Amino acid sequence: MPVSSPIPAGSRQRPVRHGAARVEDWFHDVRERWARRRGHVPTVVPYTGYGSTEWVRVFCRVLLSKPVRADETSSRRRRRREQGIRGWRSFTSVPVGDVPVVIEIGGERIEVLADRGGVVDTKVPAKLQPGWNRVALRVEGSDEVEAPVWVVGPEVDFGIVSDIDDTVMVTALPRPLVAFWNTFVLDEHARSPTPGMAVLYERLVRAHPGSPVIYLSTGAWNVAPTLTRFLSRNLYPAGPILLTDWGPTHDRWFRSGRAHKTENLHRLAEEFPHMRWLLVGDDGQHDEELYADFARKHPDQVAAIAIRELSVGEAVLAGGRTKAEEHNAGVPWVSASDGATLADRLSDVDML
């Protein structure tokens, strides 16, 4: 089967990079050579994607890891691929940047290039049926893996965008330590779900059949497998998790979490111009400000904004809170401390 490639000519040449990015690339190159000498091989860690019946957005990351032993059963191999590399090891694993990744979907094979951090975030054409689909991913020297993709039907006009920390998951840590916790937490059992939120999301999905649930967070791609298991274990609807890659970019010291959320919100507005979104977040970060700004710019694409109110202790740990009345969003705005009360208030504005 021929491989088509959307990689433009010259794309393998890196842009002029920030000094910190050059240092990071050098460090990764040293670690990659060391890991390969130890026998580690490229491994594709698949993430959940989304799309329409005409295209899909595919996510994965290429890391070096120990090869699968020949005596491992097929079920263990599958579980290792699905779970990825756990806990702190996901941050000490070596990314493989600028490597070709072959995507097979709908009978077509397309080659794309992972970025300098080993991440693939690409939009490819595909003719698929609404609902769950599978995308095959492979790099040279690795086994083929599959990534789930949620395809939104053309008749679907409602979706949910949800924050994660302090919205669906109780973090209960000072905000500066959240990143450290998310980095080094061993597994999903050490985290607590926000009361009533999983039931709220399930009710929303039942009330709006076929609607996507997209989790938008400033966390790193390294924790995607852990977050996916947490959501599944606590009965949240399955859906793509839009994360970012920490560290320096080609033009700045650190990536902007706010910019990451803003860019993805506006991208969803462009990709699904006919849809209206329920935006769910908390009042301990910048969710209220970001959502209100998005609603002012895209009033016809926001069904409502739902804000989980942190407790006094959680608000102190989060660094304070803002007030909903400070934002003129022009759309229905509800807030409560738990999912059950949010459900009641969303019912009042005809969301349930």
Q: What is the DSSP string of 5-32?
A: --PPTTTTSPPP--HHHHHHHHHHHHHH
Who wins on pLDDT, 179 or 164?
A: 164
pLDDT of residue 275: 97
Q: What's the pLDDT score for residue 13?
A: 46
Which residues, other chains included, contact 177 with Cβ-Cβ below 8 Å and sequence gap of 6+?
none
Q: How far apart are CA 83 and CA 233, in angstroms?
A: 13
Specify the pLDDT at position 248: 43
* Greater model confidence, 151 or 285: 151
pLDDT-based confidence at 10, cuts 50/70/90? very low
Which pLDDT score, from 0 to 100, does residue 326 have?
A: 57
Average pLDDT over residues 15-35: 55
HSE toward the beta carbon, residue 293, CA cutoff 13 A = 12
| pLDDT at position 69 | 60
pLDDT band at 348 (very low <50, low <70, confident <90, very high): very high
Closest C-alpha to 43, from 66, 71, 25: 66
pLDDT above 70 coverage of the chain, percent: 67
How confident is the prediction for the chain on average, in pLDDT?
A: 79
pLDDT tens digits, one per residue of 140-156: 878 899 999 999 999 99
Q: Does the pTM of the predicted model rise above 0.95?
A: no
* CB-based burial, 169-194: b 16+ in 10 Å, e otherwise: bbbbbeeeebbebbbebeebeebebb
Residue 316 pLDDT greater than 90, yes or no = no
Residue 244: pLDDT band with limits 50, 70, 90: confident
Check: CB of residue 110 under 8 Å from CB of residue 102: yes
Q: What is the pLDDT of residue 249?
A: 44
pLDDT number for residue 284 = 79
Reduce the DSSP state of residue 71 to 3 states and report it.
coil
Kindly state the average pLDDT of the residues 99-127. Answer: 92
User: How does pLDDT run across 320-345, given as a tens digit for each residue?
Assistant: 455 545 566 789 999 999 999 999 99
Q: What pLDDT does residue 35 have?
A: 57
Per the DSSP assignment, residues forming a β-bridge with 279 are: 161, 305
278: pLDDT strictly greater than 80: yes
* pLDDT tens-digit readout, 79-96: 555 444 444 455 556 888
Supply the pLDDT for residue 137.
96
Chain centroid to Cα 298, Å, comes to 22
Q: Which domains does the chain have, with CATH numbers?
A: 3-151 (2.60.40.10), 158-348 (3.40.50.1000)
Tens-digit pLDDT profile for residues 46-69: 999 999 999 999 999 998 877 766
pLDDT in tens, 173-187: 555 555 555 555 545
Q: How far apart are CA 167 and CA 175, in angstroms?
A: 14
**What pLDDT, on the 0 to 100 scale, is given for residue 324?**
47
Q: CA geometry: angle at 256 spanning 28 and 171, to 5°?
A: 95
Q: Where are the alpha helices (DSSP H) in the chain?
A: 19-37, 74-83, 89-92, 175-184, 197-207, 224-233, 257-271, 287-297, 312-318, 339-348
